[in-house]
Amino acid sequence: MDSATIKSFFEEHGYYHAKQVFNLEQLEDLSTDYDAIVKQLLHSGDNLNARWDNPETMKKLASESSVILHTNNVQQYSANWMRALFDSNFLFYAKALLGENVILHHTKLFQKPPSVGAPFPMHQDWSYFPTLRDSMLAGILHVTEATDKMGCLRVYPGSHRLGRVANTNGQVPSDFLKDYPLENATIIEAAPGDIVFFHYFTLHGSMPNVSDKTRKTVLIQLYAGDDVTEPGIDHPDEKLVLSGWNYHASRANTAE
């Protein structure tokens, strides 16, 4: 599709499913490095389980033994993953949604193991890293397929129009989120190499992985070059310019 069509769909629905952004040859290298990152992390002894601590919600979705492995910023581990962020196909979609100036906020590796892969309750992302112009969006790069049984992404199309809603980070019980149950959200199954982009207001989540396959994804968080994160937020912000220019870069904030 052309850029205008992609942007129009995203603005209407709050997400866009870009198919086969990365080909199988590219994915072979990325997958090899993905597994090497996980292996290195497992040897580190760090706590890698990013399962959310929300007893009321999580108890309904999965057992207490459920797991999701996580680390920030895969590009700090692997040159192949750094190069992937500058891939022309990927940036075509990023620029269609954000314009010519694209800034990387961070990446996140998520691995849902077979049978015990943890879910994510329905939530918005904005409160974790709000920006002044609310241009922030994410793209989930699928290293493997992601089916419903594997705990693929679910969204409420059009929910980005709700804007900033308080207490929607999914970590605490919310009467508002009870109106948007995870089981009723739109299921977005994806193939290896697909990227699903969504705005940080879009309500989204995922069911547990109850399959016999591992679900491997890397989330890429982006914002526009004329936007900036709000002060006082304790979250990694790479400020890496993937395309164009960062109009808020300064000597002070690039040293952070």
Identify residue 6 by its one-letter amino acid code. Answer: I
Question: Can you read off the two tokens belonging to residue 238?
Answer: 């790479």
Closest CA to 206 of 176, 185, 178: 185
% of the chain residues with pLDDT over 90: 84
At the top level of CATH, the class of 3-224+237-244 is: mainly beta
The span from the CA of 142 to the CA of 190, in Å, is 7
Residue 14 C-alpha from the chain's centroid: 14
pLDDT single digits (tens) 202-236: 999 999 999 999 999 999 999 999 999 999 888 98
Task: Return the domain boundaries, the chain.
Answer: 3-224+237-244
* Summary count for the chain: helices (H), strands (E): 5, 11
Q: What is the pLDDT of residue 55?
A: 64
As a whole number of angstroms, the distance between CA 101 and CA 211 comes to 39
Q: What's the Cα-to-Cα distance from 76 to each of 24, 72, 108, 123, rounded to whole Å?
A: 23, 9, 11, 27
What is the band of 240 on the pLDDT scale with cuts at 50, 70, 90?
very high
Backbone angles phi, psi at 251, to 5 degrees: -60, -40
pTM: 0.96
Length of the chain as a residue count: 256
| Cα 163 versus chain centre, distance | 18
The per-residue DSSP string of 61-102 comes to HS-TT-B-EEEE-GGGT-HHHHHHHT-HHHHHHHHHHH-S-E
The pLDDT, as a whole number, for residue 13 is 98
pLDDT in tens, 39-93: 999 999 888 888 887 766 777 787 778 999 999 999 999 999 999 999 999 999 9
pLDDT tens for residues 178-211? 999 999 999 999 999 999 999 999 999 999 999 9
Degrees, nearest 5: CA angle 4-5-11: 85
